[in-house]
Amino acid sequence: MTQRTLVLLKPDAVRRSQVGEIVRRIEAKGYALVALELRTATPELLAEHYAEHEGKPFYQPLVDFMLSGPLVAIVLEGERSIEGFRSLAGTTDPTGAAPGTIRGDLGRDWGLAVQQNLVHGSDSEESAAREIGIWFPNL
C-alpha cells in the first residue's frame, strides 16, 4: 500500500544542522521525496496543523517553538510510509526513544524544551491527507 506522509524537520533540526542526516535516513529507508522545502511557518498554518492539540498545556509553547526559525516541510512516498516514518522517528520523548531512531539517536532530553524532538510525521491516512493539504495545497 503506497502512502504519502507529511514530515516536518522542526526548527531544532535546522538549527542543529541535522537536516542532511535526517534526510539521509529517510532516503536510506527507501522513501521517495515528493516535495521538500525550507519554509517558515505562520501562526495560521500551525493553528491548522496542530488543531488536535489546541487547549492542551503544551500547545502555545509548541506553536512558539515551531515559529522560532525555518523548518523543512517534506512529503514522502513509499510502502506504508506513514507507519514507517513514525517508526524511523521514534517515540515523542527523545529520552525514551529507542537507539537507532531519529529522536533516540539525535534528540536531546526534553528538559525545559519539551517540544524539541526534531521531527513531525503524520499519524494516519486522514492526518496525512489533511496535513499535506495544509503545507502543500498544490500537490
Alpha-carbon gap, residue 82 to 73, rounded angstroms: 15
Q: Binding pattern to ligand DAT, positions 19-38, x when CB under 6 A? A: --------------------
Q: Which residues are catalytic?
A: 120
Q: Contacting ligand DAT (CB under 6 A), which of 68, 87, 92, 127?
A: 92
Alpha-carbon gap, residue 24 to 127, rounded angstroms: 24
Q: Which of residues 93-112 bind ligand DAT (CB under 6 A)?
A: none
Size of the site for ligand DAT (CB under 6 A): 9
- CB of 120 vs ligand DAT, minimal distance in Å: 5
Alpha-carbon gap, residue 85 to 25, rounded angstroms: 10
Q: Contacting ligand DAT (CB under 6 A), which of 115, 127, 129, 136?
A: 115
State the Cα angle at 21 between 15 and 116, rounded to 5°: 40
Q: Contacting ligand DAT (CB under 6 A), which of 13, 62, 73, 76?
A: 62
Q: Which of residues 117-136 bind ligand DAT (CB under 6 A)?
A: 117, 120, 123
| Own/partner long-range contacts of 100-105 (Cβ < 8 Å, ≥24 apart) | 102/22, 102/25
Does residue 58 belong to the site contacting ligand DAT (CB under 6 A)?
yes
**By C-alpha distance, which of 36, 60, 37, 39 is closest to 50?**
60
How many Cα atoms within 13 Å fall on the side-chain side of residue 77? Answer: 7
Residues that bind ligand DAT (CB under 6 A): 53, 58, 62, 92, 114-115, 117, 120, 123
Binding residues: 10, 58, 86, 92, 103, 117
